Structure 1
Amino acid sequence: MTLKKLSQIAVSAILIGGMLAGCSNQGDNGAATTVPKATDAAVKKEEKVKLTFWRNSGNDSENAAYDKLVASFMEKYPNISVEMTPIPYSDYDTKLRVSIASGSPPDIMALDAPTLASYANAGALKPLTAYFKADGNMDDIPKSTLATYTYQNEIYMAPLTESSIAMFYNKKLFQAKGIPLPSKNPDEPWTWDQVLDAAKKINDPKSGVFGIDPAQGFNNAGATAYFKYPIIWQFGGEIMSPDGKTAKGYLDSPKTKEALQFFSDLYNKHQVSALEYPPDPFPNGKLGITIDGSWSLSYLNDKFPNFKLGEDYDIAPLPKGSAQAVANGSWALGISAKSKYPDEAWKFVNWVTGQDGQKTYSSMTKDIPSRYSAAKEFPELNQYPKNVFVVQNQKYGRPRPITPVFPQMSEAVNKLFEEVTIGKRNIDTSTAEAIKTIDKAYADIEAQKKK
């Protein structure tokens, strides 16, 4: 995938064993651009504090938004300076690992949601629960979002934005086949059986037209986690235990296997999905249904101006089996466990991720704010089509498994989907092997911690 947000979904192997073992003990969008409002008393006349802040470098709008937030923070708090260091995405993880292992991490760091447990388990992050309870306005954040940044009952990161996925469908292909159009109401999704029925009617491989791409094909493990885990949840299945220690009894549950079988059948039994598609099959009329992200709205608008929302395609909530579910979590801010100035660091984190900070950031980046109050500030986020993504995330969002072996787990589950679908392998056999791989990874990291 070449889209910005999907590149952020890919999870690199991080903070497990090796160098980190020594750490284990430890404006538009419908609203005007604003800067956060002052919420506390006048700045104390004390010695100047210098905070270091590392983040992955983003696009021009993201960089400009951070520049604005840092500048406004330092104007309000002249005794606190923030030295921000944007680092290219490809180098970010390695540099951060090295800084933590060497005992000189930045005071504040941006992290992708699935990496939380790895950092927290290694003792690299300071718990933020007490800060949130004091002035973090926790009720303004969906409980499922806070759960994404919680490990062993402690909140470790402050969310800034969200992204989400939905069902995109070719309206003209539906109408040509006499298929009733899905509801646009985020609370009224089609069932997967309804989706399958529509995909069968649209499917015409001889003409190069396919019914559905259910999860953005077969890409990296990060994409698997974002697009395929919801299918497991929608069928009532799970991937790992709530404490993130084992996949046994979860990945091999009957409901999870049912989801895997349904997914495989789309390709092998019903043949409404293909292992390979031509370039941009959806806007080019070669794909009836695709599951895609909120970020694709601008992509389709920019690259395919003649393929119009409302005329050629529309958006509906993700399908459901027995339940609605979508993966949540994006990049967020955490504080180093080794920071000498955690209180000042929290001031900055709370400034950036509070209501006004999120409003500033999202006004410039067009991202979805993670706070209820900030999302309400943007009229377009409360109207179709973007309300589909926002409401789904707020009401039906779920954390991807919070485990220190997330990279290994993602690879194992990615392989599982490939084996049962592409390789047509026995689900029980492949699932057992995936569980063995995941549970061994967890045992290895626990053994490493004890050394």
Structure 2
Amino acid sequence: MKKTYRLMCSAVLLGGMLAGCSSSGESAKPAGETKQADASVNKAEKVKLTFWRNSGNDTENAAYEKLVAAFMEKHPNISIDMVPIPYSDYDTKLRVSIASGSPPDIMALDAPTLASYADAGALKPLTSYFKADGNMDDIPKSTLATYTYQNEIYMAPLTESSIALFYNKKLFQANGIPLPSKNPDEPWTWEQVLDAAKKLNDPAKGVFGIDPAQGFGNAGATAYFKYPIVWQFGGEIMSPDGKTAKGYLDSAATKKAIQFFSELYNKEQVSALEYPPEPFPNGKLAITIDGSWSLANLKEKYPSFKLGEDYDIAPLPKGTKQAVANGSWALGISAKSGHPDEAWTFINFVTGAEGQKIYCEMTKDIPSRYSAAKQFPELNEYPKNIFVVQNQKYGRPRPITPIFPQMADAVNKMFEDVTIGKRNIDTAVAEAVTAIDKAYADAEAQKKK
């Protein structure tokens, strides 16, 4: 194991990659060693840890404040200096702090960015900590896999989210269409969804059949909606090690998924490139794929559009299998932290069952742990049980690769080329594979400079 790590720090704004300069540091100490050493120096010494996170809404910020206060009350010898940073500035400031050698002890990261930080050596592996007292069996294996890079766990998850099929119940009933099952293990197939969308599509009245993946906006965000369709048809985006798209993105199953997606817009014309404002609650969109977070949004902004009366929710459709993307913001430890054991003590509290209960009671998010989710009756009942069960049983990581931004851009462009540009699928897919594999090769070459 090398005792130095390479910090890639140049392309912060362009691609989300760290590139260029290198820094050296001590090799990781076994869990417990640092704590014992500190204790031998001064048992009463108070350790101060810096904790950076992206600032959320008022409720999320208040929940974190409560967690920090609860932790410091239990651990008076550990002080947490929490620094919330606006989302738009967060990644840039964090990467600059790492490149300059002054990162926070604890940092929050969004799941897709994990591999770039871990690949650069900016994160301390947490595997030994998890095995010692992280209660790994309380977390779905697919969730832990989302925060694992090259066989090491680097992040501890706090919450999860999921997406499902939202449908206009009154439109279904008016057209004599049977309602989908609410059982998370009994989804409609995409063919059933298409059949319903064709019957519900009514251009004369400005009603669209389905929005299958929240449009073509930010590539990283739309990946959360588009990749499950590929998986559901038996396809893949990249190799399990995140090094290549060849043999995966260009597989027959992946191309079948892309073909189906594009035909919703072009051949079947049940989907549109542009929808009127808020089409679903306004009765202009019969079916949409949306997230668990939309329940509160619809209830707040459209109180007359009621769950159970005007709309309902069903599990995400399947092709040959069920699949949904997982991964959210999680907590990790800087490889340069002088107090990794104390940092783990904090992270293990925040992301443990007690911490998740505190946080999710306030935010109404979905806990990542089985035990925490069981403590909330509403998460075990319709409609939220659909999101919880899907994530726990059918969740999958988005590609874990240090070139996630470049990969996501290439895949999003591929979907746009085929769907909007009506390009030949084989050509568009081949270009995406080339772009992804070149991005990985370039990143590897940069690391060796």
Q: When the two structures are superposed, what TM-score results if normalisation uses the length of structure 2?
A: 0.93
CA–CA separation in structure 1 for the residues paired with 2:89 and 2:351: 25
> 2:403–2:440: 8 Å Cα contact kept in structure 1?
yes
Equivalent residue number for residue 106 of structure 1: 104
Match of 1:37 in 2: none
- Tell me, in whole angstroms, the C-alpha distance in 1 between the residues paired with 2:355 and 2:265: 45
Contact 2:18 2:95 in 1 (8 A): no
Contact 1:326 / 1:397 at 8 angstroms: preserved in 2?
Answer: yes
Q: Identify the residue that residue 7 of structure 1 maps to in structure 2.
A: none
Counting only pairs closer than 5 Å after superposition, residues 271-286 of structure 1 correspond to structure 2 as: 271-286=269-284
Deviation sequence 1:204-261 (CA, Å, 0-9, x none): 1121011000001111102221000000000000000000000000000000000000
SS in 2 for 1:314: strand
Match of 2:19, as an amino acid? G
SS class of match (1:437): helix
Contact preservation (8 Å) 2:19, 2:447: no
Number of the residue aligned with 1:241: 239
SS of the residue aligned with 2:103?
coil
Mapping 1:280-299, distance limit 5 Å: 280-299=278-297
Residue pairs, 1:67-216, within 5 angstroms: 67-216=65-214
SS of 1:278's partner is coil
Match of 2:322 among 324, 327, 332: 324
1:47 Cα deviation (Å)? 1.5
Moved more, 46-55 or 116-125: 46-55
Distance 1:154-1:193 versus aligned 2 partners, 3 A rule: same
Amino acid at match of 1:360: I
CA-based RMSD of the aligned residues comes to 1.6
Find the aligned partners of 1:16 and 1:122 in 2 and give their Cα distance: 9
Would the alpha carbon gap of residues 13 and 224 (structure 1) be closer, same or farther in structure 2, given more than 3 Å must change? Answer: farther
1:361-380 Cα offsets, whole Å, 9 max, x none, are 00011110000000000000
Question: CA separation in 2, counterparts of 1:152 and 1:18?
Answer: 19
In the alignment, the residues of structure 2 paired with residue 82 and residue 151 of structure 1 have an alpha-carbon distance, to the nearest angstrom, of 27
In the other structure, the counterpart of 1:62 is 60
Distance 1:433 1:251 in 2: 11
Letter in 2 for 1:94: T
TM-score by length of 1: 0.92
CA distance in 2, matches of 1:411, 1:343: 37
Deviation track 1:32-72 (CA, whole Å, cap 9, x = no partner) reads xxxxxxxxxxx963321110000001111111111111111
C-alpha offsets along residues 161-196 of structure 1, whole Å, 9 cap, x if unaligned?
A: 001000000011111111000000000000000000
Range with bigger deviation, 177-186 or 63-72: 63-72
1:428 to 426, 429, 439: 426
SS at 1:291 equivalent: strand
- The offset of 1:284, in angstroms, is 0.7
1:12–1:224 Cα change, 3 Å: farther
> In the alignment, residue 283 of structure 2 is paired with which amino acid?
G
Q: Does the residue aligned with 2:93 lie in a helix, a strand or coil?
A: helix
Say if 2:339 is the partner of 1:338: no
Equivalent position SS for 2:22: helix
Correspondence 1:18 to 2:19: yes
Which runs of no fewer than 5 residues in structure 2 stay unpaired? 1-11, 27-37
1:192 counterpart letter in structure 2: W
CA shift in 2, pair 1:24/1:170, >3 Å: farther
Paired AA for residue 140 in structure 1:
D
CA deviations over 1:378-409 (Å, ceiling 9, x no partner): 00000000000000000000000000000000
Report the equivalent of 1:30.
none
Q: Find the counterpart in structure 2 of residue 4 from structure 1.
A: none
How far is 1:24 from its partner? 8.7
Counterpart of 1:424, as a letter, is K
Asked whether the equivalents of residues 23 and 124 of structure 1 are also in contact (C-alpha less than 8 Å), the reply is: no
Of 264, 267, 292, 1:266 maps to 264
Partners of 2:300 and 2:70 in 1: CA distance: 32
Task: Give the secondary structure class of the aligned counterpart of 2:264.
Answer: helix
What is residue 390 of structure 1 aligned with on the other side?
Answer: 388
2:235/2:254 contact within 8 Å kept: yes
Residues paired across the two proteins, number = 425
How far 1:18 moved relative to its partner?
3.2
> Residue in 2 aligned with 1:347?
345
Contact 2:13-2:92 at 8 Å conserved across structures: no
| 8 Å CA contact retained: 1:12, 1:407 | no
Distance 1:69 1:378, change over 3 A: same
**Does structure 1 residue 399 correspond to structure 2 residue 374?**
no
What is the 5 A alignment of 1:5-44? 16-18=17-19, 21-23=21-23
For residues 304-361 of structure 1, what are the alpha-carbon distances to aligned partners after superposition, in whole Å with 9 as ceiling and x for unaligned? 1111100110000000000000000000000000000000000000010000000000
| Structure 1 match to 2:4 | none
Distance 2:144 2:15 in 1: 22
Amino acid in the other structure paired with 2:17:
I
2-structure distance, mates of 1:110, 1:139: 22
Matched letter for residue 76 of structure 2? P
SS in structure 2 of the partner of residue 228 of structure 1: helix
Give the Cα–Cα distance (whole angstroms) in 2 for the partners of residues 383 and 147 of structure 1.
Answer: 27
Q: Is the 8 A contact 2:323 2:395 kept in 1?
A: yes
**2 CA distance for matches of 1:336 and 1:65?**
23
| Offset, 1:17 | 4.0
Give me the whole-angstrom Cα distance separating, in 2, the residues matched to 1:252 and 1:231: 15
Contact 1:166 1:317 in 2 (8 A): yes
Q: 1:375 to 1:24 in 2, by over 3 A?
A: farther
Where 1:54 maps in the other structure, the secondary structure is strand
Pair 1:315-2:316 in alignment:
no
